[in-house]
Amino acid sequence: MSGAPAGALALVADIGGTNARFALTDPGAASAELRECRALRNADFASLQHAAEHYLDSVGVQPARAAIAVACPVNTDEIRLTNRAWSFSRRELQHALRLDELCMLNDFGAVAWAVPALQATDRAHLFGPVAATLQGPVTVMGPGTGLGVAMLVGDAAEGWRVVETEGGHVTYAPIGEEEEAIARWMAAHFGRASNERVLCGNGLAHIDAVLRGAVNMDTGKPTSLREPAQIVDAALAGHDVAARRTLARFCAVLGSVAGDAALIHGARTVAIAGGIVPRFIPFLRSSAFRERFLLKGRFAAYLESVSIFAVTHPQPGLLGAAMALRTPAPGAGAAAPRTPSQDTPLQSTP
């Protein structure tokens, strides 16, 4: 670890439902560089504390500061992950890790912090105008283990502010018979059909089961489920009609939800992140995403001017946590300082 002394390095983490990602960063450096990035499987550890201790032991650093993003609300001392049976007290975690400062962030709040710091190679333009600079408000959303939604307001000159939300848990609004069938089965299986139940890895598997008829509509139990990665690979290979139908429906629903979120936020930009979409960007571009994004009646013309891009940075949650540590009080929504990367033109890779 060349450069900053070990004592100047801070811990950053992005804790999802499946993986715990860790890195080190120097909050005083000119840019938010990530060092010693490592991903650990949550299933291999009893708690977040154990995973963090394992990482710190492996890199041989004792940081004084940390920013940890978790896939759940972070507005209380007691924190419970939504899609993982981990819970902890933030005060006790800070003490156990021997930290002087611990900043807790929502996972998509962290992704939102990363968006102004993205380089041109960290994003791929999808639809709408290609803006010269990042235009706010920005809706930041995307499917992974769950469905994250956050909002970014401000500008590069005055600083950006992040609004953390739990927007992924709003009620799913199906369009057409196929989506009605998906909603009925989701409600029978989970008691309620939310956007997150549909737009996530498991949701992709459930859509596939419904469209293949591999579910019991009376009991809400699947008779067979395929792995999400298997579905995506089969759809992209082109030989599996059912998989292509599933992925096409997933993209259509994502477009509809993204359009709703953009209207709610008054967004001028939509950033699609998460671990799923970057795997099939060309498929998404050719899908009904754009059609469904604009299918908002009198406000279709309004949404035509919204720029949409996919976040392709390999670790946006870690980058966002590092950016949050560069602010005086990230938990309070303080404005992020300007950095060279924030002032670069907003140009996306094709």
Cα–Cα dist 52/21, whole Å:
9
DSSP tag of 8: G
CA-based torsion, 87, 92, 94, 96: positive or negative: negative
The residues with which 324 forms a beta bridge, in sequence order, are: none
Check whether 17 is labelled as a binding-site residue. Answer: yes
**What does the angle CA 216 – CA 220 – CA 226 come to, to the nearest 5 degrees?**
70
233 marked among binding-site residues: no
140: three-class secondary structure by DSSP: strand
* CA gap 180, 168 in Å, rounded: 19
Residue 44, marked binder: no
Q: Which residue has the tokens 């927007």?
A: 167
Q: Is 18 within any annotated ligand binding site? A: yes
| Alpha-carbon separation of residue 81 from 42, 47, 62, 114, 146 (angstroms) | 12, 11, 25, 21, 11
For 50-81, b where at least 16 C-beta lie within 10 A, e where not — what string?
A: ebbeebbeebebebebbbbbbbbebeeeebeb
Asked if residues 239 and 230 have their Cβ atoms less than 8 Å apart, the reply is: no
Determine whether the annotation assigns residue 25 to a binding site: no
Does 15 count as an annotated binding residue? yes
Q: Which residues belong to the annotated binding site?
A: 13-18
Residues at the annotated binding site for ATP?
Answer: 13-18
